[in-house]
Structure 1
Amino acid sequence: MNWKNRISPAVNAIAPSGIRKFFDIAAEMEDVISLGVGEPDFVTPWSIRESCVYGLEQGYTSYTSNRGLLELRQEITSLIEREHQITYDPKKEVLVTVGVSEALDIAMRAVLAPGDEVLIPEPCYVSYKACVTLAGGKVISVPTKIENEFRITAEELTDYVTPKTKVLLIGYPNNPTGAVMDYETLEKIANFAEKHDLIVISDEIYCNLIYANTKHTCFASLDKMKDRTILLNGFSKAYAMTGWRIGYALANPVIISAMTKIHQYTILCAPITAQIAAIEALKHGEKYMKKMVSEYDKRRLLILDGMRKIGLECFEPKGAFYIFPCIKNTGLTSEEFAENLLRAERVALVPGNAFGDCGEGFIRCSYATSVPKISEALVRIENFLKNHVYR
């Protein structure tokens, strides 16, 4: 039997993640320094872990409401109101999900009909396009430029919008570039979304990882945007809770109800233990988050200075925990650079084209690792350039 012919055409059309290839190679090698994984190197703070342990001891092992524990939804809406001055109804406008990845997937499935177009600025997180394709939508990639620090503008979006465009998907602070949007630019994009009657899905998982006195603007907080925005966020990055798989979506009641339908048949509910931990994170986790962000900032400045000193051009990332150096002056493609560096100097990073075609000529490096490892990685990259590229 030819099993490939039995697989859904939509699944066959999706390429494997461009990130995994290099980590599969690295897994078979010793003494590898990884700058590739988008995961905090911190352990989840103890008080958050302890709340989970206590919950287990008290026998909290059951299902929860499909939408998540009401207490957690109340804490989420309180946070959004406190930080962004937006009011959401915890009973009708919040859905707790298994990570932001699930929230993105079911948001797409809830709003897209076959052939609907989704505008996606590139470079972008690797799952964005796949979620659109699996939901039956059509991806319309909108390239961004290093000259504009990989920020998208309303003018650039205008060149790609058609009568079939239904959704604009944005993710800022950005993975992989570390780009952050300013209020004025987002305001123009909001006007663009209103003019073309678009749903905006705003992935703001890195909104608390901001540096250099930069301010994050929540897209839903912009004038008239709350009702047309699906706001996605979670706990993985800011609270070092990647393995807990806990995220959430905020939107108008009709969209949340539609997303909940999909969620209840595929997931039922997020794990109660992770939800209990998330409540503790929102109540008492801010001090730990700020400490981690302070440490990321030190690493950010170290790797930025180091990359520039060894001759790789890069703009200053002001959000998330990634830097996106340009390697075009080496004459190598992104994949050649990543693979040759890994084999020659045992440093793992991600080729920029894994995040879209306009990422070609760049590499993504995560600074969510220790200062000694970053310092050693910079030495190894410099050796690679001297001994294998510029010789």
Structure 2
Amino acid sequence: MDADLAETLPARIHGVGTSQIGMVADRGRHDPEVIKLWIGEGDLPTPPFIVEAAHRAMLAGETRYTYSRGLPALHQALSDYHRRHWKVEVAPERFAITAGGMNAIMQTCQALLEPGDEVIIPAPGWPNLAEAVRVAGGVPVPVAYQQAEGGRFTLALQDILAAVTPQTRILVVNSPSNPTGWVMPLAEMEALRDAARERGLWILSDEVYNHFTYGNAIAPSFLQVTTPTDRLIVTNTFSKNWAMTGWRAGWVTYPEGLAATFSKLGQYNTTSIPTFIQHAAVAALEQGDAFIRTMVGRCVESRAILVEGLSRIRGVTVFPPEGAFYLMVWVDTGETSLDLAFRLLREAKVGVAPGTAFGPQGEGFLRICFAISPELAREAVARLARVLSKPV
């Protein structure tokens, strides 16, 4: 009966894929012996000053409905945050608060897509982007990263533009990228901006990992090279920078004139996220820069441990990321990446994400999250080396 009912659902829902990350995680989620590196989540708890801000807000009665677009104080804190880190002026009325980065992307798709509109997405890419497009009735169009000398990924502007058709509506950029670690240079952002303007296309820029870079500066933002009236939407989340994955708080930055649109979308998606969580988000923005530096510093060290250690294993090729906190690793065992992820879970007690979780372009790869302590990174390398060094 359940299968028959499922057949009656809309085609766009039938096309939504099952998360392979979830498939692996569900087999070891409650095993305390597993080192869990499959999901985009650090191992630090939410900082106490954020938790305490939420607690104070609850005790003060901040537990009722509020503006669907979010608290004005949070809009102002976001404006100040962007001025501080990217030297850009973004008016407070250009922000809407969402239930995490995923809801930010979903609301963007709801706002921009008509059925059949095409959305160009770099691949391999975070699967939720493509699935949000499908749920909204759009058509995801993958454009493959290239692998450059020196073991890194690149994305050519000409490859993006070659995929544009009369049905194209949105160009997606995720920089720093999940899972490849690619970072789009500012000059390429300017070139893509110009191409989008010429063609009347929207840019959806997912900038969740801006602070997680392994050079001398944070990653650039499209807000640095656009005007308030450009067809640009930037999505972001409190999850990564401030260890708030379970709080489900994010934001959208949209062009002038769309505040009423995103107010309505917020109303009919979630009404609003909890008021006390928004007060915690204000604390994160105003007091959390030092915590971000701590997170990035740990990632720098753990990244180096994993890159060096895994590079020594025969049959393993490591692609050191420029940004984000994931390592893409090519493993030549003859298995599918999903089968290998299951085997590493069983034999090494290490949970990793199969490359095909990010599209068919990820076959042969594993994605490993290194937002962990250096000690845990060393243990993960030792366990993986013991298993991958043995013949299959």
**Which TM-score band applies after superposition, normalised by the shorter structure?**
over 0.9
| Letter aligned with residue 354 of structure 1 | A
Secondary structure in structure 1 of the residue aligned to 2:389: helix
Q: Which residue in the other structure is 1:97 paired with?
A: 98
Q: 1:180 aligns with which of 183, 189, 198?
A: 183
Counterpart secondary structure, 1:207 = coil
- Displacement, 1:382? 1.4
Matched, 1:340 2:347: no
CA distance in 1 between counterparts of 2:215 and 2:116 reads: 41
For residue 377 of structure 1, report the CA deviation from its aligned partner: 1.6
Decide whether the 8 Å contact of 2:298 with 2:372 is kept in 1: no
Q: Distance in 2 between matches of 1:43 and 1:253?
A: 36
CA RMSD of aligned residues (A): 1.7
State the match for 2:238 in structure 1.
Answer: 235
Asked whether the 8 Å contact 1:214–1:318 carries over to 2, the reply is no
- d(CA) in 1 for partners of 2:99, 2:189: 28
Sort the Cα spacing of 1:29 and 1:287 in 2 relative to 1 into closer, same or farther, 3 A: closer
- How far apart in 1 are the matches of 2:380 and 2:68? 45
CA drift of 1:29 comes to: 4.8
Pairing 1:101-140 to 2, within 5 Å after superposition: 101-140=102-141
Counterpart in 1 of 2:67?
A: 65
Match of 1:303 in 2: 306
Paired with 2:236 and 2:226, the residues of 1 have a C-alpha distance of 20
1:249 aligned partner: 252
Deviations 1:262-289 (A, max 9, x none): 2201211111111000101111111121
Distance in 2 between residues matched to 1:160 and 1:256, nearest whole Å:
31
Q: Confirm or deny: 8 A CA contact 1:81 1:87 kept in the other structure.
A: yes
Q: How does 1:37-76 map to 2 (within 5 A)?
A: 37-76=39-78
Q: Give SS of 1:313's match.
A: strand
Contact 2:81 2:286 in 1 (8 A): no
Gaps of 5+ in 1: none
Query: 1:61-93 deviations in whole A, cap 9, x for unaligned?
Result: 1111111110000110121123223322213x1
Indicate the SS of the match to 1:146.
strand
Cα shift at 1:222: 1.2
Q: 2:137 and 2:355 mapped to 1: Cα distance?
A: 26
3-state DSSP of counterpart to 1:178:
coil
Distance of 2:264 and 2:60 partners within structure 1: 30
The correspondence of residues 181-330 of structure 1 with structure 2, limited to 5 A, is: 181-224=184-227, 227-311=230-314, 312-327=316-331, 329-330=332-333
Q: Deviation at 1:208?
A: 1.3
Match of 1:12 in 2: 14
User: Given that residues 190 and 225 in structure 1 are in contact (C-alpha distance below 8 angstroms), is that contact kept between their aligned partners in structure 2?
Assistant: no
Shift of 1:33: 1.6
Structure 1 residue 50, shift from structure 2 partner = 0.8
State the partner residue of 1:157. 160
C-alpha distance in structure 2 between counterparts of 1:303 and 1:85, whole Å: 34
Shift of residue 124 of structure 1?
0.9
CA distance in 1: counterparts of 2:30 and 2:49, whole angstroms: 36
TM-score (norm 2): 0.94
- How many pairs align? 387
The one-letter amino acid paired with 2:140 is: V
Alignment correspondent of 2:355: 352
Distance 1:225 1:120, change over 3 A: farther
The secondary structure found in structure 1 opposite 2:330 is coil
Residue type of the alignment partner of 1:314: V
- Counterpart-to-counterpart distance in 1, 2:256 and 2:243: 30
- Out of 62, 72, 80, the position equivalent to 2:82 is 80
Of all paired residues, the percent bearing the same amino acid is: 33
Structure 1 344/165 Cα, relative in aligned 2: closer, same or farther at 3 Å?
same
Q: Aligned pair in 2 of structure 1 residues 171, 225: CA closer, same or farther (>3 Å)?
A: farther
Q: CA deviation at 1:28?
A: 6.2
The alignment partner of 2:63 has SS state of coil
- Bigger drift between 80-89 and 268-277 goes to 80-89
